[in-house]
Amino acid sequence: MSDWRDEEMARRARGEVRALSQNLHEAINARHYPGTRQLCAQCDEPTGRCEEDSIYIADVGPLCECCRDKAEQTA
């Protein structure tokens, strides 16, 4: 029996694209693209960003928005 995430990826490969909720999209990405998740250098939580829009402060990063805000408040 195949996993629903595999079935969704097969559907997309056939060109049958449909809108997904954020939860479904995140679940598919977590299984099929685990290396693309960027983690904060301070708290190890997902940053919600990618390489192109990463947040760095004084060569420290990538940072999530919460850790960026904390760093800016202490600066």
Tell me the DSSP string of 40-71: -TTT-SB-S--GGG---BTTB----HHHHHHH
Strand partners, 57: 60
Cα separation, 63 vs 68, in Å, equals 6
Cα separation, 41 vs 29, in Å, equals 21
Kindly list the domain boundaries of the chain, sorted by start residue. Answer: 1-36, 38-75
Query: What is the structure's pLDDT at 67?
Result: 95
pTM for the whole structure: 0.53
The 10s digit of each residue's pLDDT in 15-73 is: 888 888 888 888 877 776 656 678 899 998 888 888 888 999 988 999 999 999 999 99
Q: Which of 52, 48, 30, 31 lies closest to 39 in space, CA to CA?
A: 48
Structure token digits, residue 27: 């679940």
